[in-house]
Every structure is written in structure tokens, then in C-alpha cells.
């Protein structure tokens, strides 16, 4: 059992990121049994949930003529335009049916502001609007984080890099993550995480 100061952060294990979902990640469902087993070693467990309003600005469908997975400039920088996914209250936004959600102490939702996307569990994509997770972890005395989930090269990477910058000791357990891998984004994410001081296990 890990000490109370070490939390497991489970990123976006939701139906839309699993096979059959709107933004399916190859093998996204394969990591669920391993994540459930890993939960037994932690006394502090946080789940994140991508939670977009209908018509979110990150959806390609809101940008006439733009193809899903194309990149456009937003006020805060480049933004990938995604297929509609994880719409609040839709089945796609629900956690994978086999994920142990009972074990979670906190479920943190992100991406609910219509004009800003949110990959990281800590900050929206403007890199300044906080989700509140940092305060939650610090007030519980948590200093170490193990991260798993979807997708390695987007939400997991942004969460891990932000956490390392905030001073947490971060490990990403790569065998319990799966990637979208858009134009080499997985290799780039690995490099960025290593450069930020994240341990890849
Ligand atoms: C994610 C793209 C859009 C993720 C969320 O969970 O990695 N990716 N929204
Ligand atoms: Zn999203």
C-alpha cells in the first residue's frame, strides 16, 4: 500500500475514448482491469472526466469547413478540432462500465467552459485557469502522483507535465495508458514528459 501522500490519478477512462466511442483510442478499454487492480494499492484516488457542453468550441462541428483532427488558432494558441465527444450526460461521457468508480475520492470534471478546452487535470488549455485539483491534493498533503489513463499524448501528458511543474513527484505508468498518436504526438509527448522530469514506468 502506498502512503496517504501518494495519489493515483486516473485520466478520462470514458466510453468516448474507448473502442466504439466518438474519439476512440486503440485499446483504450484494455487498460481498465489493470487500473482497477492498481487502485487496491492506493488510499487516495482521483478520477478525471472530460465534460463538454453541447457545441463546445473544440468540436470541429462548430467550425464550418474544418475537418476533425485539424488544428486552428485559438486565443490561447493552437487547438486540435475534435469530433464531438464527452458531451455532458451523454453515454460517451460516462466512465467505462467496468472502471471501479466506487474507489474514487474525487471526480474532477474539465472542459466545461464553452470557449476553452481542457486537457490537463490542473489547468485549462489557456494554461492559467485552474481546475482546483492542485489545491485539493495539497490540502490533503499529497506530494507524489501516479498517472494512468487516456490519452497518453493529450490529457495524460498535459496533466503529468503540469503536475511536475507544480512540484509534484510524478510517475506515468505507460502500460496503463493508450495514445491517440496524431502526427507523431506520442513520441513528442514522451520527450516532453521526460524533459519535465516525469518518470515513465
Ligand atoms: C482528450 C482530446 C480531447 C483526452 C480529451 O482525454 O486525451 N483528448 N479531449
Ligand atoms: Zn475533450
Q: Looking at residue 179, what is its pLDDT?
A: 98
> pLDDT by residue (tens digit) across 173-194?
999 999 999 999 999 999 999 9
In sequence order, the β-bridge partners of residue 106 are 46
Q: Looking at residue 137, what is its pLDDT?
A: 98
Q: Looking at residue 157, what is its pLDDT?
A: 98
* pTM passes above 0.75: yes
Positions marked catalytic: 12, 110, 155
d(CA 63, CA 56): 10
Q: Looking at residue 188, what is its pLDDT?
A: 98
From the alpha carbon of 17, which atom of ligand 1 is closest? 6
For cell 509534484, name the residue.
168
From the alpha carbon of 58, which atom of ligand 1 is closest? 3
The answer to whether the CB of 51 is under 6 A from ligand 1 is no
- Residue 157: other Cβ atoms inside 10 A: 27
What length does the chain have? 201
The answer to whether the CB of 158 is under 6 A from ligand 1 is no
Report H helices in the chain. Answer: 32-39, 133-139, 157-165, 185-195
3-state SS, residue 11: strand
Q: Looking at residue 68, what is its pLDDT?
A: 95
Phi/psi at 110 (nearest 5 deg)? -150, 155
Q: Looking at residue 169, what is its pLDDT?
A: 98
Centre of ligand 1 to C-alpha 155, Å, is 5
Q: Looking at residue 73, what is its pLDDT?
A: 95
The answer to whether the CB of 16 is under 6 A from ligand 1 is no
Centre of ligand 1 to C-alpha 43, Å, is 26
Q: Are 185 and 195 in contact (CB under 8 A)?
A: no
The answer to whether the CB of 81 is under 6 A from ligand 1 is no
Phi/psi at 73 (nearest 5 deg)? -90, 125
Sign of CA dihedral 9, 140, 126, 91: positive
d(CA 201, CA 170): 10
The answer to whether the CB of 50 is under 6 A from ligand 1 is yes
d(CA 122, CA 10): 13
d(CA 48, CA 36): 15
Residues of the chain with pLDDT under 70: none
The closest alpha carbon to 157, from 169, 143, 172, belongs to 172
Centre of ligand 1 to C-alpha 142, Å, is 25
- Angle of helix 185-195 relative to helix 157-165, nearest 10 degrees? 10
The verdict on whether omega for the bond into residue 161 sits within 30 degrees of 0, i.e. cis, is no
d(CA 17, CA 51): 12
Q: Looking at residue 114, what is its pLDDT?
A: 97
Centre of ligand 1 to C-alpha 102, Å, is 23
Amino acid at each position: 500500500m502506498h502512503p496517504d501522500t501518494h495519489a493515483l490519478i486516473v485520466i478520462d477512462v470514458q466510453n468516448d475514448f474507448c473502442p466504439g466511442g466518438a474519439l476512440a483510442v486503440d485499446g483504450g478499454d484494455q487498460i481498465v482491469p489493470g487500473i482497477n487492480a492498481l487502485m487496491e494499492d492506493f488510499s487516495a484516488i482521483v478520477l478525471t472526466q472530460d465534460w463538454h457542453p453541447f457545441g463546445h468550441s473544440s468540436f470541429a462541428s462548430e467550425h464550418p469547413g474544418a475537418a476533425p483532427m485539424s488544428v486552428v488558432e485559438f486565443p490561447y494558441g493552437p487547438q486540435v478540432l475534435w469530433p464531438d465527444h464527452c458531451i455532458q450526460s451523454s453515454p460517451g461521457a460516462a466512465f467505462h462500465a467496468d472502471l471501479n468508480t466506487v474507489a474514487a475520492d474525487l471526480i474532477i470534471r474539465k472542459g466545461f467552459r464553452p470557449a476553452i478546452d481542457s486537457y490537463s487535470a490542473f489547468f485549462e488549455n489557456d494554461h492559467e485557469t485552474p481546475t482546483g485539483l492542485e489545491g485539493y491534493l495539497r490540502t490533503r498533503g499529497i506530494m507524489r502522483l501516479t498517472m494512468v489513463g487516456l490519452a497518453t499524448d493529450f490529457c495524460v501528458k498535459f496533466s503529468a507535465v503540469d503536475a511536475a511543474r507544480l512540484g509534484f513527484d510524478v510517475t506515468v505508468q505507460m502500460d496503463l495508458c493508450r495514445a491517440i498518436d496524431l502526427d507523431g504526438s506520442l513520441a513528442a509527448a514522451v520527450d516532453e514528459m521526460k524533459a519535465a522530469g516525469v518518470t515513465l514506468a
